Amino acid sequence: MNLIHPLNILYDLCIVGAGPAGIITALEYCRYNPGKKILLVEYGRGRNQHHNALDDSIKIDNPANHYHPYECTNKGLGGTSATWGGRCVMYDEIDFMERSVTGDDCTWGADVLAGLRPYLPKAAEYFECGEPIFNLKDIEEFRGTHIAEGFVEGIVTDSVVERWSMPTRFGSRYSNRLKKTRDIHVLQGFEIRDMQSPNAAGTVTSVKIRNVSTATESEVTAKRFVLAAGTQETTRALLRNKQLFKNLDSIPEALGHYYQGHISGKVASVVFHGNPQKTDYGFLKGKDKTYLRRRFQFTSNFLKEQNLLNTAIWLDNPLYYNPAHRNGAMSLMYLAMITPVLGKKLAPPAIAESITKGMRTGVKRHILNILRELPHSLTIPAAIFYKRYLLKRKLPGVFLFSPENKYALHFHAEQLPQYRNRMYLGEDRETLHIDYSLADEDIRSVIRTHEALDHWLRECGCGELQYWFGEDAIFEAIKGMSRDGMHQSGTTRMAESPARGVVDMDLKLWGTKNVYICSSSVYPTSGQANPTFLLGVFACRLAKHLTTAP
Ligand SMILES: Cc1cc2nc3c(=O)[nH]c(=O)nc-3n(C[C@H](O)[C@H](O)[C@H](O)COP(=O)(O)OP(=O)(O)OC[C@H]3O[C@@H](n4cnc5c(N)ncnc54)[C@H](O)[C@@H]3O)c2cc1C
């Protein structure tokens, strides 16, 4: 490897990684600081990279519960937003509270949430997900409406919503803006390698970057650095550059640990007793044409009192692969999804797998379903195809009406921050090992939140749950079905001291004066929420901080 000529500029800011976090940080910083020079270094170059050395050097210890590296992230301008679903969810107050269920080890607090709120509108602009209002009670046209006839809010709520992005592919959406912005220099096809040790004052002045194709190295000098390479790669860069912590008594114990995702799957259906036409099973459309969707959630008090992990549960279709649903449109979509080539075009692999469960089964019965329900088996998917693939603001998902008023329930639950779930470097100092497993408490909490929902629906007289598994089988079923790796967080958590975390409350790396992390790796808890919207909010806040901090 040669060290080739340095890039002869002292940048004001060097950002590593051009996913949503890196792009928002760059554009926001530029907006606040016209004339300041920004370098955005991105590993991926071009669109169709079938293989890359980063993903090839990841070893996952428990593939049953963790997707393959190629299904978890993307490389290139826009990062993993190239395949993300676009679901924008806000974290809840409970996620920022001390709770015994998470071991009273919550290293961020209510003040962090309060400090983020002013940045929600700007982040929502980048995500193109409408006004950042996440409760239907605060939206006039939906106030007082409910998920199903007879539902009453209590310990269970139905008014918190997820919002949906276009889905915005940050690469294609913002590449022109990045190109036109003279002060932002995008360098694609380069990987961050060695970072200089901080001086006694904690200042790092340069990092080495390596050309991914030629392996030649260059040096970048900058006044400040932001690592925004996604959770696994940001963590790998820090594990490889432990000299960054040389001004501390020791390397932060939390580095690489507390890796979290979400527990997710389906174990029950809900049957509502009221008028099926009054069930809000699909998307709501705001006045600005953005899509919203309800979810069942639980109040903070209830979760705290009952020692439960934060959980969202939403209405879903029955399992596609099982022809017993007798729905012609679903059968057609399932067959399309398992058709080689076509299936890959319809959804990214991890999403497709979550729909088909990797099963190729009952083809004849699926065909019978299609024939029995003609022409609807064709017209419904055709209308969905048009809305989902041909419109600019795409229909974010497919949820079908049930005349029986019966829907599958999809749970999406917080995962305990466990020290033993971790990322660490192999002896070659290149391979990133990922140890990831579910705790029994994760699974028990999912079971208990379902019981609480069932109890509440029965109490309202609105409906009840029907389980797909017996009491003795449900635990193992959840353990077997839940897979993540798409919503990575926790490995560089923020905390008020290096004894408990890796970055401070401003996202500055402990032990340095000018190295920051902008990634969901800084979240100490995973909540029920998908991570990216909040990450955009953090990016907006960081850009402001970099502007105002001395
Ligand atoms: C199939 C799928 C669906 C998803 N759906 C949702 C959803 O609906 N809602 C949601 O909130 N989240 C979703 N996510 C998660 C979401 O995509 C991520 O949270 C988000 O992309 C993280 O943004 P980021 O900028 O931190 O990292 P990334 O988007 O991963 O971008 C990081 C960038 O850094 C670059 N990089 C990595 N290492 C280096 C290096 N050493 N040097 C230089 N550059 C480097 C990478 O090439 C990449 O471009 C989904 C993820 C997947 C896989």
Q: How far is the CA of 361 from the centre of ligand 1 (A)?
A: 32
User: What letter does residue 7 receive in the DSSP assignment?
Assistant: P
Q: Decide: pTM greater than 0.85.
A: yes
pLDDT at 47: 60
Residue 405 has pLDDT above 90, yes or no: yes
pLDDT at 5: 44
Q: How far is the CA of 472 from the centre of ligand 1 (A)?
A: 38
For residue 351 and ligand 1, the question of a CB distance below 6 A is answered with yes
**How many angstroms separate the CA atoms of 403 and 445, rounded?**
31
For residue 527 and ligand 1, the question of a CB distance below 6 A is answered with no
pLDDT at 3: 40
Q: What is the mean pLDDT of residues 382-386?
A: 85
CB atoms inside a 10 Å sphere around CB 288? 10
Cα 328 to the chain's mean position, in Å? 32
Q: How far is the CA of 79 from the centre of ligand 1 (A)?
A: 5
pLDDT at 419: 97
Q: Please, what is the average pLDDT of the chain?
A: 94
**How many angstroms separate the CA atoms of 414 and 442, rounded?**
8
What are the pLDDT digits (tens) for 458-500?
A: 999 999 999 999 999 999 999 999 999 999 999 999 999 999 9
pLDDT at 437: 98
Q: How far is the CA of 228 from the centre of ligand 1 (A)?
A: 9
For residue 85 and ligand 1, the question of a CB distance below 6 A is answered with yes
| pLDDT over 90 percentage in the chain | 83
If one residue of 259, 532, 534, 540 were mutated to test the ligand 1 pocket, choosing by the most ligand atoms within 8 A of its CB, it would be 532
For residue 498 and ligand 1, the question of a CB distance below 6 A is answered with no
Residue of the CA atom closest to atom 42 of ligand 1: 191
For residue 238 and ligand 1, the question of a CB distance below 6 A is answered with no
Cα 294 to the chain's mean position, in Å? 18
If one residue of 24, 73, 129, 234 were mutated to test the ligand 1 pocket, choosing by the most ligand atoms within 8 A of its CB, it would be 73
For residue 234 and ligand 1, the question of a CB distance below 6 A is answered with no
For residue 189 and ligand 1, the question of a CB distance below 6 A is answered with no
Q: What is the mean pLDDT of residues 338-367?
A: 82
Q: How far is the CA of 545 from the centre of ligand 1 (A)?
A: 23
Q: Confidence band (pLDDT; 50, 70, 90) for 267?
A: very high
Q: Which of 49, 50, 74, 70 is nearest to 60 (CA)?
A: 70
If one residue of 80, 129, 173 were mutated to test the ligand 1 pocket, choosing by the most ligand atoms within 8 A of its CB, it would be 80
* Beta carbons of 204 and 47 less than 8 angstroms apart: no
pLDDT at 357: 79
Measured CA distances, 312 to 292, 396, 521 (Å): 15, 18, 21
Q: How far is the CA of 170 from the centre of ligand 1 (A)?
A: 10
pLDDT at 71: 94
Residue 6 has pLDDT above 70, yes or no: no
**How many angstroms separate the CA atoms of 156 and 222, rounded?**
50
For residue 233 and ligand 1, the question of a CB distance below 6 A is answered with yes
Measured CA distances, 136 to 114, 142, 224, 316, 515 (Å): 20, 6, 41, 20, 39
Residue 171 has pLDDT above 60, yes or no: yes
Cα 244 to the chain's mean position, in Å? 28
Q: How far is the CA of 346 from the centre of ligand 1 (A)?
A: 20
What are the pLDDT digits (tens) for 237-266?
A: 999 999 999 999 999 999 999 999 999 999
Q: What is the mean pLDDT of residues 24-29?
A: 98
For residue 518 and ligand 1, the question of a CB distance below 6 A is answered with no
pLDDT at 353: 77
Q: Confidence band (pLDDT; 50, 70, 90) for 48?
A: low
- Residue 455: its H or E element: helix 440-460
For residue 83 and ligand 1, the question of a CB distance below 6 A is answered with yes
Q: How far is the CA of 482 from the centre of ligand 1 (A)?
A: 20
**How many angstroms separate the CA atoms of 502 and 489, rounded?**
13
Closest ligand 1 atom, CA of 209?
42
Q: Confidence band (pLDDT; 50, 70, 90) for 376?
A: confident
Q: How far is the CA of 534 from the centre of ligand 1 (A)?
A: 13
User: What percent helix, strand, coil does the chain show, rounded to 5?
Assistant: 35, 20, 45
What are the pLDDT digits (tens) for 221-242?
A: 999 999 999 999 999 999 999 9
Residue of the CA atom closest to atom 1 of ligand 1: 84
Measured CA distances, 236 to 191, 240, 413, 489, 492 (Å): 12, 6, 26, 13, 11
For residue 76 and ligand 1, the question of a CB distance below 6 A is answered with yes
**How many angstroms separate the CA atoms of 385 and 272, rounded?**
29
For residue 20 and ligand 1, the question of a CB distance below 6 A is answered with yes
* Structural domains of the chain, with CATH: 10-49+75-83+106-117+168-259+489-548 (3.50.50.60), 136-166+262-418+437-481 (no CATH)
For residue 397 and ligand 1, the question of a CB distance below 6 A is answered with no
Closest ligand 1 atom, CA of 237?
41
For residue 17 and ligand 1, the question of a CB distance below 6 A is answered with yes
Q: How far is the CA of 165 from the centre of ligand 1 (A)?
A: 15
